[in-house]
Structure 1
């Protein structure tokens, strides 16, 4: 008797947690569709798959482009016949604050980190209903704790968490599990890809001193040895995919659990304000 392997689609697999999750799912026996916005950036993904001795189905998918999302999901169903899980991992960081960001800057952050998740999830849900599948979204501890100079990014991640927390009981009635995975500091290209001109932003303006202190703290946090590896963070994704009854909210490390726990126990907001104020004071 032949058993058809389960199929998972993962977004944002060019590096970091997405790449690690793609390799881990393939090693665990999943038929893994690893997607990325620009397939010319798939070299690291292909090398990692070859090193692990696994095969990936690498496809183009731009989460901000509804046509691209529909084409990718329809292609998976046409070629593989089923979709058992989706891991929303694609996202983009952003540093700024209310007076330095434009409203369009904030809209761009929301487009990738929030509406992109909705685009993929909405296209996938009919197929996940058919298989009793799982919808997993990689958010951030910044989806629980608001952080200085991350207003737009945290707003997008808060929105994702609120949406998924509200969606979870609805999809559960039809057999689809919804979870969010919350990493803390992970040693990936994420910080390098934020795209801020640190020199220009720190050189002028009323927030330059606070921003400099925030950058110094964050740089230290992401130094080698102080940040979690992508493979370690991807273990939380695997938990969401494989646990009999996965939790809705899964942190990727003890530090992340402690940090998120501070917020969830902070009914008046004072503990978080006291904590994050020390980052820039």
Structure 2
């Protein structure tokens, strides 16, 4: 059997790193990408001497970088869109440029990589997986820009899925809840300014307390990665896959909430 090749974005840490290593362990040829390959040390240490994992530079916001990364590939069986960036803020304090930046990484970056990869995926009858978030299902206070980007990803890919299926490409989104990774520590935005703001400071501090509680019981990153591997290898993977029981509960709340009142009650309590 021909070894299958998968491209994973955002592999310098967190879910991307764990997914790249897990896929290499499962026998895939892994193209592990990151914007700055100088940060590949943790990935290479975790992968050990595995010859079936290679590191390539890829900036998902730069079409030329995406083209260069895919250049020379004659086969690609799967893509895992994982690269992304968090952001905390709120409309009155965020600049529109900041919001556009969040969309550029989390939404347009996914589209840029997916568009470039689709001809290869069509040729192999491959799979396109994108790591979104429960924040792509339930809007979260002080995460307006981030959730908007994740909502956009889910809407775009849900619309694309039946079209891609006719071309032989399976599309799925992976929805984690809190995962024990470096993601929260790397979140951008205006957190310090928010905490001191006379209008938003108190509710933001309540939100931070909620987040700290959620991450105290966060899912191990390897466990989330194993869900991604299982989805890639499933005979007929579903479109929407949650990585934990917590994530399933959040998705179920939203999908059963036809008027939005249940979700608003829950998220309002986070900032009370």
TM-score for both structures, normalised by structure 2? 0.97
Secondary structure class of the residue paired with 1:90: coil
Q: 1: CA distance between counterparts of 2:75 and 2:223? A: 28
Q: 2: CA distance between counterparts of 1:180 and 1:239? A: 13
| Contact 1:49–1:55 (8 Å) recurs in 2 | no
Q: 2: CA distance between counterparts of 1:24 and 1:105? A: 34
Q: 2: CA distance between counterparts of 1:227 and 1:236? A: 15
- Note the C-alpha offset of 1:165: 0.2
Secondary structure class of the residue paired with 1:212: helix
1:263 matched residue in structure 2: 254
Secondary structure class of the residue paired with 2:182: coil
Of the three residues 231, 238, 247, the one matched with 1:247 is 238
| Contact 1:141–1:256 (8 Å) recurs in 2 | yes
1:84 matched residue in structure 2: 77
| Contact 1:143–1:157 (8 Å) recurs in 2 | yes
Output one character per residue of 1:23-68: Cα deviation in whole Å (capped at 9) or x when no partner.
11111110000000011111100000018x5641100000000000
Q: 2: CA distance between counterparts of 1:195 and 1:25? A: 29
| Contact 2:88–2:191 (8 Å) recurs in 1 | no
Output one character per residue of 1:178-223: Cα deviation in whole Å (capped at 9) or x when no partner.
0000000001110000134543320123011000110111122213
Secondary structure class of the residue paired with 1:149: coil
2:60 matched residue in structure 1: 63
Q: 2: CA distance between counterparts of 1:279 and 1:25? A: 36
The CA RMSD measured in Å over matched residues stands at: 1.2
Q: 2: CA distance between counterparts of 1:54 and 1:208? A: 50
1:37 matched residue in structure 2: 35
- Note the C-alpha offset of 1:235: 1.7
Of the three residues 81, 100, 105, the one matched with 1:107 is 100
| Contact 1:8–1:83 (8 Å) recurs in 2 | yes
1:171 matched to 2:168:
no
1:199 matched to 2:192:
yes
| Contact 2:11–2:32 (8 Å) recurs in 1 | yes
Which aligned pairs between 1:149-188 and structure 2 lie closer than 5 A?
Answer: 149-188=142-181
Instruction: Give the gaps of 5 or more residues in structure 2.
Output: none
| Contact 2:33–2:57 (8 Å) recurs in 1 | yes
Secondary structure class of the residue paired with 2:102: helix
TM-score for both structures, normalised by structure 1? 0.94
1:6 matched residue in structure 2: 4
Secondary structure class of the residue paired with 1:221: helix
Q: 2: CA distance between counterparts of 1:194 and 1:28? A: 31
Q: What number of residue pairs does the alignment pair up?
A: 272
1:17 matched residue in structure 2: 15
Instruction: Give the gaps of 5 or more residues in structure 1.
Output: none
Secondary structure class of the residue paired with 2:178: coil
